Amino acid sequence: MKDKIDELLKENMSPECFDLYYKLHIPLDQLTSSSGKFHQRLNGSIPTQGEHIYNMLGTAIKMKQTLDINFDLVLIAIVIHDIFKYGYFGLREKSNYEHDRMGADAIKESSMVFKGVFNGDEVRMLENAVRFHMGRFSNDFQDYSQMSPLAWFLFFLDMGDTNNAIKGD
Ligand SMILES: [Fe+2]
Ligand SMILES: [Fe+2]
168 found inside a domain: no
Ligand with an atom nearest the CA of residue 78 = 2
* pLDDT tens digit at each of 169 positions of the chain: 999 999 999 999 999 999 999 999 999 999 998 888 888 888 888 999 999 999 999 999 999 999 999 999 999 999 999 999 999 988 888 888 899 999 999 999 999 999 989 999 999 999 999 999 999 999 999 999 999 999 999 999 999 999 999 999 9
User: Ligand 1 centre from 48 Cα, in Å?
Assistant: 13
153 found inside a domain: yes
Q: How many domains does the chain have?
A: 1
134 found inside a domain: yes
Can you give the residue range of the structural domain that contains 66?
Answer: 2-162
Per-residue model confidence (pLDDT) at position 141: 98
82 found inside a domain: yes
- In terms of phi and psi (left: phi > 0; alpha: psi -120 to 50; beta: otherwise), the region of 108 is alpha
Per-residue model confidence (pLDDT) at position 82: 97
167 found inside a domain: no
| CATH number for 24 | 1.10.3210
User: Ligand 1 centre from 12 Cα, in Å?
Assistant: 23
Per-residue model confidence (pLDDT) at position 51: 96
Per-residue model confidence (pLDDT) at position 151: 98
Per-residue model confidence (pLDDT) at position 40: 85
Alpha carbons 127 and 118: distance in angstroms, whole number: 12
User: Ligand 2 centre from 56 Cα, in Å?
Assistant: 9
Per-residue model confidence (pLDDT) at position 37: 82
Ligand with an atom nearest the CA of residue 52 = 2
Ligand with an atom nearest the CA of residue 56 = 2
Ligand with an atom nearest the CA of residue 137 = 1
Per-residue model confidence (pLDDT) at position 20: 97
24 found inside a domain: yes
Per-residue model confidence (pLDDT) at position 89: 85
User: Ligand 1 centre from 99 Cα, in Å?
Assistant: 7
Per-residue model confidence (pLDDT) at position 95: 86
Question: What secondary structure letter does DSSP report for 135?
Answer: G
User: Ligand 2 centre from 99 Cα, in Å?
Assistant: 10
68 found inside a domain: yes
Q: Who's near 144: CB < 8 A, 6+ residues apart?
A: 136
Residue-wise burial string across 35-61, b where 16 or more C-beta atoms lie within 10 A, e elsewhere: eeeebbeeeeebbbbbbbbbbbbbbbb
Per-residue model confidence (pLDDT) at position 90: 84
Q: What spatial distance separates the first Cα and last Cα of the chain, rounded to whole Å? A: 12
Per-residue model confidence (pLDDT) at position 108: 97
User: Ligand 1 centre from 76 Cα, in Å?
Assistant: 14
